[in-house]
């Protein structure tokens, strides 16, 4: 189903925390990015169970109103498109409820807290005459997209190996307050929260993960104090004298196998001291290599066979309009002008709105947002990692990707 271009496209965001605000800003700027083709976008509502968060986000990003529940968004006839950016355990109820109400739905990753929930959500999406997608924002990184373009174009030769990490420090402090991120059982911690991103990034480059092995998980803080009041994102805050057990992992490592004998190695941590948000990878091919570091998001390190003998090696490549997403994606789309994760969210929102109105590649639209079925596959990879860890690192096959 495509949107009637004669009327504005009403958008709402459910969840006004850290990532929710990024979605709010993304929709606000979507019509300023790239070419024409979208109808006017109407910023209708922000919903959050903690109403002050919704009030603040609506004010900051120019939304017409703040509400306290997703049900109010579902019942609002002015809303056509909704981003769901709430705790993972709530995804199924909210997404299926919004689909029942006739909304187009973009759900943040990971898709669901369990495979059962994810399969139900995929079935609901397939039955609905609406556009749906799951948000893996690093697919919108100009640098990562540029590496994918070079690899898939053959410039790096055949891929040989891949090494990736996502290291954060938000759980280093044992007195940091308890939140939904610490609940849910093995595999729902660092693996689902940030590991899902690097798994998806690897598949953007190398294709589907076929199996995983050698997985190990560790938890270093057994319980955390309960917060006094609401907590946004990874922020600290006042805590009580009561505590609750941590139910999932702080660290996970594993290997993954892809077609053609390519092997990937992964290191995921939410207790990496001094690294608030450090995603990176190294990709080695038969004729070249590329490296990416999120702390330097507007560049890549690149090596190929084009250098004269004796002068080879990695060189810094500053991203500019010749690389994916930059031309028209920045107000100043000039080489070496900085960008980062906030832009990735905006590019994702624009891509999803393009899908809703029926614009495709022939119209100059961005690559589409991955389907909920892709989000289910991502969870199947994470489930295989969890089962490998539970069995002492045994190899576990992953169901074929859709």
List pLDDT tens digits, range 73-121.
999 999 999 999 999 999 999 999 999 999 999 999 999 999 999 999 9
Question: Model's pTM, two decimal places?
Answer: 0.94
Alpha helices in 64-111 (DSSP H): 70-74, 91-100
Across 9-23, 101-115, 229-243, least confident range:
229-243
pLDDT of residue 56: 97
Give residue for tokens 């938890």: 219
| pLDDT beyond 80 at 206 | yes
Query: Which uninterrupted H or E stretch holds 172?
Result: none
Closest by Cα among 227, 221, 249, 219 to 382: 249
Hey, which residues does 300 pair with through a beta bridge? 317
DSSP one-letter code for 125: H
Cα–Cα distances (Å) from 260 to 206, 208, 374, in that order, read: 10, 11, 21
Is the Cα dihedral 150, 156, 157, 162 positive or negative?
negative
Rounded to whole angstroms, the Cα distance separating 101 from 44 reads 16
Computed over every residue of the chain, the mean pLDDT equals 95
How large is the average pLDDT for residues 227-241? Answer: 73
* Mean pLDDT calculated for residue range 345-374: 96
Stretch 197-214: mean pLDDT = 98
Question: Dihedrals φ, ψ of 65, to 5°?
Answer: -155, 160
Question: Of the candidates 196, 33, 182, which has an alpha carbon nearest to the alpha carbon of residue 107?
Answer: 196
C-alpha–C-alpha distance, residues 303 and 289, integer Å: 5
Question: How many CA within 13 A on the CB side of residue 154?
Answer: 0
Q: Is the pLDDT of residue 1 over 60?
A: no
Q: What is the pLDDT of residues 157-200, one digit of tens each?
A: 999 999 999 999 999 999 999 999 999 999 999 999 999 999 99
Q: What is the pLDDT of residue 235?
A: 62
Signed CA dihedral, 117, 118, 123, 124: sign only: positive
Tens digit of pLDDT for each residue in 302-316? 999 888 877 889 999
Question: Pairing relation of β-strands 41-47 and 9-14?
Answer: parallel
- What domains can be seen in the chain, in order of their start residue? 9-138 (3.40.50.720), 142-339+379-388 (3.30.360.10)
Give the distance, in angstroms, between the CA of residue 350 and the centroid of all CA atoms in the same chain.
15
> Whose CA is closest to 125, among 351, 399, 367, 371?
371
**What is residue 27's predicted lDDT score, i.e. its pLDDT?**
98
Sheet holding 9-14, edge to edge: 65-67, 41-47, 9-14, 81-84, 104-108, 132-135
Q: How many CB atoms lie within 10 A of CB 97?
A: 18
**DSSP string for residues in 37-84:** -PPPEEEEEEE-SSHHHHHHHHHHHT-SEEES-HHHHHT-TT--EEEE
Mean pLDDT of 268-282: 98
- 309 vs 357: CA distance, rounded Å: 51
| pLDDT value of position 3 | 62
Q: What pLDDT shows up at residue 234? A: 63
Task: Give the pLDDT band of residue 291 (cuts 50, 70, 90).
Answer: very high
């Amino acid at each position: 189903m495509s949107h009637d271009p004669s009327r504005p496209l009403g958008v709402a965001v459910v969840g006004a925390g850290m990532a929710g605000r990024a979605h709010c800003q993304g929709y606000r700027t979507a019509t300023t990015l790239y070419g024409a083709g979208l109808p006017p976008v109407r910023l209708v509502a922000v919903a959050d169970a903690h109403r002050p968060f919704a009030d603040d986000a609506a004010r900051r990003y120019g939304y017409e109103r703040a509400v306290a529940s997703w049900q109010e968004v579902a019942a609002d006839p002015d809303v056509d498109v909704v981003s769901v950016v709430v705790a993972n355990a709530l995804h199924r109820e909210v997404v299926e409820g919004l689909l029942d109400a006739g909304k187009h739905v973009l759900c943040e990753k990971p898709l669901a807290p369990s495979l059962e929930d994810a399969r139900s959500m995929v079935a609901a999406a397939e039955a609905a005459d609406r556009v749906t997608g799951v948000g893996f924002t690093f697919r919108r990184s100009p640098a990562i997209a540029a590496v994918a373009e070079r690899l898939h174009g053959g410039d790096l030769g055949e891929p040989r190996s891949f090494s990736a990490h996502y290291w954060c420090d938000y759980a280093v402090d044992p007195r940091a307050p308890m939140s939904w991120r610490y609940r849910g059982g093995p595999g729902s911690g660092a693996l689902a929260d940030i590991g899902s991103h690097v798994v998806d990034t690897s598949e953007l480059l190398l294709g589907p993960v076929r199996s995983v092995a050698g997985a190990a998980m560790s938890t270093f803080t057994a319980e955390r104090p309960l917060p006094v009041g609401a907590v946004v994102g990874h922020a600290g805050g006042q805590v009580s004298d009561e505590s609750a057990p941590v139910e999932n992992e702080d660290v996970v490592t594993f290997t993954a196998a892809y077609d053609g004998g390519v092997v990937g190695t992964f290191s995921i941590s939410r207790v990496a001291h001094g690294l608030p948000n450090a995603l990176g990878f190294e990709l080695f091919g038969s004729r070249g290599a590329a490296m990416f570091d999120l702390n330097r998001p507007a560049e890549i390190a690149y090596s190929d066979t084009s250098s004269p003998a004796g002068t080879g090696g990695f060189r810094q490549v500053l991203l500019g309009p010749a690389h994916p997403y930059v031309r028209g994606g920045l107000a100043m789309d000039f080489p070496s002008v900085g960008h980062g994760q906030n832009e990735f969210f905006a590019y994702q929102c624009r891509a999803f709105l393009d899908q809703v109105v029926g614009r495709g590649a022939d119209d100059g639209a961005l690559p589409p947002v991955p389907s909920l079925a892709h989000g289910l596959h991502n969870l199947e990879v994470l489930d295989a990692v969890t089962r490998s860890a539970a069995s002492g690192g045994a190899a576990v096959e992953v169901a074929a990707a859709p």
